[in-house]
Amino acid sequence: MSNISRRGFLGAFAGLTTATLLGNVPGIASLDFVARSTLAAPAGMSFGYAAITWNGNDTQAIKDISEVGFKGVQLRTSVLSDYSSRPAALRDLLAAHHLKFTAFSSGGVRIGAGTEKEEIDKHVRNAEFVRDAGGLYLQVTDSARPKDRKPTPEEFKQLGRVMNEIARRTADLGVPLGYHNHMNSLGEAPDEVDRVMDATDPRFVKFELDIAHYQQGGGDPVKAIHQYHDRLLFLHIKDLESPVPAAATGNNRVYRFVELGRGKVDLPGVFAALKQIKFHGWAVVELDAVPDNARTPKESAIISKKYLVEKLKMKI
């Protein structure tokens, strides 16, 4: 095997074995390593919950999410303070609570002169942690949106170049990368999301659609599911209240995220679209912060689960 790279061997092997076993599976664009990893999720759609609502209290988040009944958890960089040097301990903690480490929020990919190596190294280190802790996916956003102008074509190209290299390296580790569309990033409006995705290699950079950010950015998440059906890695399922008075959000935003069923995102339409494209991956319910201070993060999670089970007849 001296004349073929390890990456090339993995790509060829993945394409051969997956194509042999699965044939032409609807909703899967390229039968490469990343696509196989998507199919490795449990049969049917699986539901996780994001720990962001607990504002860094990850141990409590893990306990509460397990007790509510979700099967997976998405963690953030706050978990590294306790577990960066002992990922096996996190894996054991999650196993004790019957939770799958679904995804890790690796933060934004910065672009600019002299930043590329640092950004690549940072996210690859995080992917190594995900691998060692038994996790599935790495999530990245970008933190490059200019405040006083539209993004330039060169900025999209640089972001794509850096994400491609990160994703190639994380694929070698067995950790697929998903790009998270986000307000106040290069990938805010639908046409900007398109430009980010066009600038990246579909074999490696997949799409993690956040349905509420996409709607607030001016898009229709149902259409996005159909448009990107062959690149969907996993999703953020959340609801959106917009517009709201800026004073109600505690910041300058005129929107806020709320528990499922309490906003205006077409959640039935979203799940109908996922059924139509035969999506068999993870849907992570996310709520950035509890919108009512009288509730706890756990109580908000219960509200969203109740909506999924009772209104949409989902099996959590």
Q: Give the model's pLDDT for residue 90.
A: 98
Cα–Cα dist 27/37, whole Å: 14
DSSP secondary structure letter of residue 33: H
pLDDT of residue 216: 97
Beta-carbon-side half-sphere exposure of residue 249 (alpha carbons within 13 Å): 16
Q: Would you call 84 exposed, middle or buried from its count of C-beta atoms within 10 A (0-12, 13-18, 19+)?
A: middle
Residue 250 pLDDT class (50, 70, 90 cuts): low
Query: For 138-142, 158-162, 207-211, 245-249, which range has the lowest pLDDT when averaged over its residues?
Result: 245-249
205-225 average pLDDT score: 98
Position with higher pLDDT, 13 vs 203:
203
Question: pLDDT at residue 154 above 80?
Answer: yes
Full DSSP string of 107-174:
EEE--STT-HHHHHHHHHHHHHHHHHTT--EEEEEE----SSSPPPHHHHHHHHHHHHHHHHHHHHHT
pLDDT digits (tens, 9 = 90+) for 82-121: 999 999 999 999 999 999 999 999 999 999 888 999 999 9
Q: Rounded to whole angstroms, how far apart are CA atoms 58 and 79?
A: 6
Q: Which residue has the higher pLDDT, 181 or 9?
A: 181
Whether residue 35 has pLDDT greater than 90: no
pTM: 0.85
Mean pLDDT on 141-158: 90
Could you tell me if 209 and 179 are in contact, meaning their C-beta atoms sit under 8 angstroms apart? no
Per-residue pLDDT tens digits for 70-81: 999 999 999 999
Average pLDDT over residues 152-163: 96
pLDDT at 231: 98
pLDDT tens sequence across 12-24: 333 333 333 333 3
* Domains of the chain and CATH, by start: 41-311 (3.20.20.150)
- Strand bridging mode 256-258 / 239-241: antiparallel
Is residue 75 within 8 A of residue 54, CB to CB? The reply is no
